[in-house]
Amino acid sequence: MITTKTKKNIALAGHAGSGKTTLCEALLYRSSTIERMGKIAEENTVSDYTAEEMKRKSSVYTSVAALPLQKLDVNIIDTPGMLDFAGEMVSGIYASDCVMITVSGKSGVKVGTHKAYDQAVKMQKPRMFVVTKLDDENANFYNVLTELKAEFGSAVCPVIVPVIADRRVISYVNLIEMKAYKFDERGKAVETEMPTAEVSEKMSYRIDGLIEAFSEAVAETDEELFEKFFSGEPFTEKERIDGIHKGICSGVITPVVCCSAQTLGGIELIMREMDLLVPEASETIITTDAEEVSITSDAPAMVYVFKTAADPFVGKMSYMKVLSGSVKSGDELVNAASGSTEKMGKMVQLTGKKQKEVAEAVKGDIVAVTKMNIGTGDTLCAPSRVAAVEPPEYPKPSYRMAVAPAARGDEAKIANAMQKLLESDMTLTYEQDPNTREMILSGLGEQHLLAVASQLKYDFGVEITLNVPKIAYRETIRKKVKVQGRYKKQSGGHGQFGDVWIEFEPCLSDELVFEERVFGGAVPKNFFPAVEKGLQDSVKKGILAGFPVVGLKAILVDGSYHPVDSSEMSFKTAAALAYKEGMRQADPTLLEPIGTLVVSVPDECTGDMMGELNKRRGRVLGMNPSEKYKATTDIMAEVPMREMSDFALLLRQMTQGRGEFTLEPVRYEPLPPHLMADVIASYTIDNE
């Protein structure tokens, strides 16, 4: 039977260490979902339950925790704050109906705050700020509120504010109810008197100012409310609730609430606002063909897969949000991406790693299903209405490392395990570099790839080592030469004889250019293909360091043959001998790959980045104000690829995670002479 409870899905996002997991734990405890609050330090929280998260003592994966209330079914989606795991944050926010962005009352607005806010705006999700850790003696709510207004504009509106005396929170004021509350050790709210000037210096003035700012924000949501505010008439509590609710849904108001999750102070008030202010599951969605379709409870079923988890014991687990209608185990739905029909397996409701089987899931529910042949981003639909939901845009991998098995013979095991991880992580790639033949693992940062290596070891039983990828150098020549290649071998019976004269000269081509200008039949035409084949095999490996040779033109101009001893093999060998001698005489050199770089940095980092690119032998081509982010500059440059192995880490450190870049190889240029000796001496490449 379809429940009549209101469904709400709330994502917790924000900078690493801002209190998301502790807030989730406090909400679960205060709602009596769990009997005891876990602690990150004790590795017993509901949402950080994997071995990797417990080892790191921070969130790595997005987790879901069901929070059943009296008239409300809420799913708390706890997302990681570390920038290396931003893909998980994207998935969690996409599945939510509202984003609660945590901001530490001690450290204030950070890069992760902006990342979460920008992602919520991009996905058109309602959002609110939660200022956390107010039990810390160095916390300052009002400084953080001022910072939020400065960073995110006039839409920021205080709703729950603390009353502070002697650097300690003594109560919380709910500006919607215009009431103040204290909290006991179990987090139960007890109404107390509204603060006066005697409670804390300037408190009466501060509360009056906050009420004025709150009322002005409410007035902006409706013309009638604006007229009422302009005339000086106070709003009723219902008008305040409706105004804030309307404002958060339309994006013109971003409420600010606060709490101390560790002591449970303010948690009950936040739960009330989750009921009153946070919107429920959206009423419409946009499909890929830009059609707007109804997603009411009685509409045909539509389910979106927002996350896939790779579990070595359970198998693939698909996290789904029911967008419309209802689904049951055994229902047959159409995958809008592939057109195949999929049978729904056993559905479970999640609270961290705890699973509760459910017979039916309705609009707004989040469930997980195991062992289905579907992937992240797929839309499953009732056959009567098949429409695909546009998936979110995930961050592009920017940090590359070469993968080698720790034990010989594990290549197949690694490939199988990586295939499962690629299904669960949209920000990960694993592919062979066609030039160096190394397996390259790409992700969002060093911690991201280390987490992958850890998961391979503990979940799939295979160990890998991560190394700096090899650079795909090339070799070429710089002058024209004419050389002879002569091969003669006599060993009883038929011998071997091939003799060629070949001119080698530079050219503009990535492939060997072969021509023949033989006159008088000095080399029979039937041996021309053998000569070319000998050269084609030879250019795969240069004479300096064994790199492939490019920019080489070979012209067969003369030679001789023996009517009995000459063969295709002898002329192929003669061509190879001519190649080696010609390369030695033709002033060989190394070429290095050059990439086109577009890097976006905050305006204040522009000078530092220009200096860094100069250190890396880069050539700056131009700068433009970024169209994507305000107060950001896009720098276009050409840089040698050998100088960029650690650029992703440098950029993150320089910009505190606010920078982005793309780097695409475009051409080869001569390697500076002072670097050639080191490359030739230390670089080896396997062409087998």
pLDDT tens across 121-147, in order? 999 999 999 999 999 989 999 999 999
Chain mean pLDDT for the chain: 90
pLDDT band at 687 (very low <50, low <70, confident <90, very high): very low
- What pLDDT, in 10s, does the model give residues 342-359? 999 999 999 999 999 999
- What pLDDT, in 10s, does the model give residues 367-383? 999 889 999 999 999 99
Q: Pick from 115, 11, 101: which is nearest to 62 by CA?
A: 11
For residue 157, pLDDT over 70 is answered with yes
What share of the chain has pLDDT > 90, as a percent? 71
Spatial distance between the Cα atoms of 613 and 285, rounded to a whole number of angstroms:
44
For residue 688, pLDDT over 60 is answered with no
- What pLDDT, in 10s, does the model give residues 289-332? 446 665 666 788 999 999 999 877 778 899 999 998 899 999 99
Q: What is the DSSP letter of 605?
A: G
What are the structure tokens assigned to 132, written together?
A: 């956390």
Paired with 131 in beta bridges are: 103, 258
- What pLDDT, in 10s, does the model give residues 625-663? 988 777 899 999 999 999 999 999 999 999 988 899 999
pLDDT for res 1: 33
pLDDT for res 321: 95
For residue 534, pLDDT over 80 is answered with yes
pLDDT for res 589: 95
For residue 391, pLDDT over 70 is answered with yes
Paired with 12 in beta bridges are: 78, 100
Is the distance from CB of 685 to CB of 470 less than 8 angstroms? yes
Residue 626 belongs to what H/E stretch?
none
Is the distance from CB of 41 to CB of 108 less than 8 angstroms? no
For residue 158, pLDDT over 70 is answered with yes
- What pLDDT, in 10s, does the model give residues 483-529? 999 999 876 667 899 999 999 999 999 999 999 998 888 899 999 99
pLDDT for res 197: 61
Average pLDDT over residues 454-479: 93
Residue 328's alpha-carbon distances to 56, 278, 296, 605, in angstroms, are 37, 27, 17, 54
The amino acid at 6: T
Domains along the chain with CATH numbers: 6-280 (3.40.50.300), 285-381 (2.40.30.10), 399-467 (3.30.70.870), 475-586 (3.30.230.10), 590-682 (3.30.70.240)
For residue 283, pLDDT over 60 is answered with no
Spatial distance between the Cα atoms of 380 and 304, rounded to a whole number of angstroms:
6
Spatial distance between the Cα atoms of 151 and 148, rounded to a whole number of angstroms:
5
Alpha helices in 387-509 (DSSP H): 411-424, 446-460
- What pLDDT, in 10s, does the model give residues 40-75? 999 999 999 998 999 999 999 999 999 988 778 899
pLDDT for res 16: 94
pLDDT for res 230: 82
pLDDT for res 3: 46
pLDDT band at 198 (very low <50, low <70, confident <90, very high): low
For residue 205, pLDDT over 70 is answered with no
pLDDT for res 294: 58
